[in-house]
Amino acid sequence: MWRRRLGALLLRSPSSSTPSSSSSYQQHHHHLIPTPNEKPLALSLLRLFASQAGSDGGRPFIAFILGGPGSGKGTQCTRIASDFGFAHVSAGDLLRNEISSGTDKGELILEIIKEGRIVPSEITVELIRKAIESTTAKRVLIDGFPRCEENRIAFEKITGTEPDLVIFFDCPEDEMVKRLLGRNQGRVDDNIETIKKRLKVFESLNIPVVEYYSSRGKAHKINATGTEDEIFEAVRKLFSSLRL
């Protein structure tokens, strides 16, 4: 039952009433919506308010932003950061900064990114941990991490914490491919060969992470088709309902 309530309260957006161009991918991920035996919305929100996250002296409120390559994570994070006062920590950007530093570690990261594989957890978690520690923000978006269950477990172990909220941007593959091929940021991984590999890695390794958080009542699925504004409208409703 509460699956419907949650959908109505948090996940509806103007775009979600429009049929998407390719719904097979989304149907595929219908099971990601929290199941009825999970905690009702009111309890989830209560837990958020009761947590230490964001309070003085405690750790910041942490939201993991997940979704396939090209689903619009970075684009929506920029808007969440500016409207809701979040620091934006992009795991991919942290790794690309390491590449720019020209170290051996950077070379290893470059090779992995070119192949669309996942960088070893200890490298990524360390970069994210430092970024969280060095921010004075009370709310932090972690964009594009964890990429796999091993990433998730390493983060929990090293930081001793779990995210307060997980957003999953659900987008059909054909739309993601179209967006990535048009991204035009000179990225070594935005070519069709690497994109195919990234999509496979996403499906086999990242979806299980979303399922894990979904089963714990922390994941909120957002329809990532439509215009940036339409998607942000759904995002805005969700973040407004948190009363951060």
Ligand X SMILES: Nc1ncnc2c1ncn2[C@@H]1O[C@H](COP(=O)(O)OP(=O)(O)O)[C@@H](O)[C@H]1O
Ligand Y SMILES: O=c1ccn([C@@H]2O[C@H](COP(=O)(O)OP(=O)(O)O)[C@@H](O)[C@H]2O)c(=O)[nH]1
Residue ranges binding ligand Y (CB under 6 A): 69-70, 73-74, 91-92, 95, 112-113, 116-119, 124, 144-145, 147, 151, 189, 198
Which range, of 93-101, 130-138, 195-203, 226-234, touches ligand X by CB under 6 A? 226-234
- DSSP for residue 2: H
Say which entry of ligand Y, ligand X, Mg ion, none residue 80 contacts (CB below 5 to 8 A, set by partner kind): none
Q: Is 116 in the site for ligand X (CB under 6 A)?
A: no
Say which entry of ligand X, ligand Y, Mg ion, none residue 118 contacts (CB below 5 to 8 A, set by partner kind): ligand Y
Min dist CB 221 to ligand Y, Å, is 17
Min dist CB 118 to ligand Y, Å, is 4
Which range, of 6-14, 16-24, 72-80, 201-209, touches ligand X by CB under 6 A? 72-80
- Name the burial class of residue 49, with classes exposed (0-12), middle (13-18) and buried (19+) by CB atoms within 10 angstroms of its CB: exposed
Place of tokens 């991204």: 183
Min dist CB 93 to ligand X, Å, is 10
Min dist CB 154 to Mg ion, Å, is 20
CA atoms of 121 and 65, how far apart (whole Å):
17
What is the enclosing helix (H) or strand (E) of 60?
none
Say which entry of Mg ion, ligand Y, ligand X, none residue 153 contacts (CB below 5 to 8 A, set by partner kind): none
Q: Is 196 in the site for ligand X (CB under 6 A)?
A: no
CA atoms of 46 and 38, how far apart (whole Å):
14
- Answer whether 104's CB lies under 8 Å from 52's CB: no
Q: Is 73 in the site for ligand X (CB under 6 A)?
A: yes
Min dist CB 116 to ligand Y, Å, is 5
Report helix, strand or coil for 140: strand
- 119 CB-near residues (< 8 Å, 6+ apart): 95, 108, 109, 112, 113
**Torsion, CA 155, CA 202, CA 9, CA 80, rounded to 10:** 60
CA atoms of 65 and 90, how far apart (whole Å):
9
Of the two residues 48 and 93, which places its CB atom closer to Mg ion in the complex? 93
The footprint of Mg ion (CB under 5 A) covers 73-74
Q: Is 67 in the site for ligand X (CB under 6 A)?
A: yes
